[in-house]
A and B are shown apart, each in its own frame.
Chain A
């Protein structure tokens, strides 16, 4: 059967993609941002998942205001990087594991998560930046080296789904993956955040204490964390910080017991606090005898 072995939390700041695409990652401004992903790229190269289930939000790219699905699962064969207004990112087309995606779609609906099925979808920086930071520089001619099942979550129009709903969706995704007969190694990414506000007079809000609490509780109290109301994100982590609900999908899909093997936190990237965490299921972690970094 297929199984989820680890989860990745990761910001998806568009400027990080721009920095990679324009080859300025070694500039003093960007160097500390990318330093924190060196471990992660080695880890990905060693772990080599067959499939990444990638939870992200579309930033008014594939979805305009006419259709706003709360959860939209990518079931197309491929997903092309979109022109978001400044030209498409020069990165590879994203290839789906289409059979598994369809299986998950069916399983979720029967499990009473009424997701939207996307058989055509372009993807924006919300999806491609996490792939770039975890897999490194790629050209459009390359392959990402992994199949990707995208789940787009509405966090643009209030309300985003609750943290609790996201956490339970993660559990349903895990159930779906584990009922897929093929022996595949799957990872789940929860992306977005951390604290940031992009708009109006309070733009630039950053809250390291909140972000640290959030990262800590992913391991120590994920259920409690998933109960946090939206207004707390909006007030404490900025109006766009509510993206962090997507990390609960990732956390819900993992075992109750996880081991944090890597954490990275840096301010700023553009307007945003960059947060990144790698959580391995404890059983999987122990079976490999790995020692937690730090």
Chain B
């Protein structure tokens, strides 16, 4: 099916296809909303993850805290941010990690007004980067 939002660079649109792919990964992430689950996960990550039938790639990305890979494998930011919160990483610092800029440079960019839409609307604009 044609998707008119697939040509936006550096962006995942969390549609039904992504939602299906990421279902168990996202359900794992949201389980960390509760303190008792955070404690169980932090006590033994591997054992806790056994309760969620995600793919080996998703499981590996969780264990490695590979934030972009989690999104590539169907994770959604509002879910993966629960894993980040468990690790003491807030939304802004998570964004700093996902952009590859690092926390400081990202914060500075935001203070300077954020990322301009100029040059960031279409994938074709990113091809030379």
Contacts and interface: CB of A to CB of B under 8 A. Distances in A.
B121 A234 contact: no
A241 to B, nearest CB: 10
Contact of B99 (A65, A195, A203, A267): A203
14 contacts: A65-B26, A65-B79, A157-B19, A157-B76, A158-B5, A198-B94, A199-B98, A200-B99, A201-B99, A203-B10, A204-B110, A235-B5, A270-B91, A271-B95
Interface stretch (A79-87, A111-119, A143-151): A79-87
Interface string A196-223: 0111111111111010000000000000
Contacts of A14: 91
Interface string B80-111: 01100110001110110011100000100111
Interface string B29-59: 1101111001000000000000000000000
Contact of A267 (B9, B95, B114, B121): B114
B1 interface: no
Contacts of B81: 85, 198
Interface centre among A197, A199, A207 (most CB of B within 10 A): A199
Interface of A: 14-15, 18, 29, 59-61, 64-66, 82-87, 156-159, 195, 197-208, 210, 229-231, 234-236, 239-240, 267-268, 270-271, 273
A270 B110 contact: yes
A207 B117 contact: yes
Given A15-B90, A60-B30, A65-B19, A239 B121 contact: no
B interface bracket (residues with beta carbon within 8 Å of A): 35 or more
Contacts of B92: 15, 270-271
B34 to A, nearest CB: 6
Contact of B95 (A159, A203, A229, A235): A203
Contacts, number: 157
Contacts of B8: 202, 234-235, 239
Given A15-B92, A60-B79, A270-B92, A239 B13 contact: yes
Given A204-B95, A239-B12, 19 more contacts: A61-B33, A65-B22, A85-B85, A157-B14, A157-B76, A158-B5, A159-B15, A198-B81, A199-B98, A200-B11, A203-B98, A204-B115, A205-B114, A208-B113, A235-B117, A236-B121, A267-B113, A268-B111, A271-B91
A204 B114 contact: yes
A158 B82 contact: no
A64 B99 contact: no
Contacts of A240: 77
B77 A66 contact: no
Nearest to B30: A64
B10 to A, nearest CB: 3
A234 B115 contact: no
Nearest to A204: B115
Contacts of A235: 5, 8, 117, 121
A270 B78 CA distance: 15
B82 A85 contact: yes
B107 to A, nearest CB: 9
A230 B5 contact: yes
Nearest to B31: A64
7 closest pairs, A vs B, by CB? Answer: A206-B114, A202-B10, A201-B10, A85-B85, A199-B77, A203-B95, A158-B15
B76 to A, nearest CB: 6
A60 B11 contact: no
Contacts of A82: 33
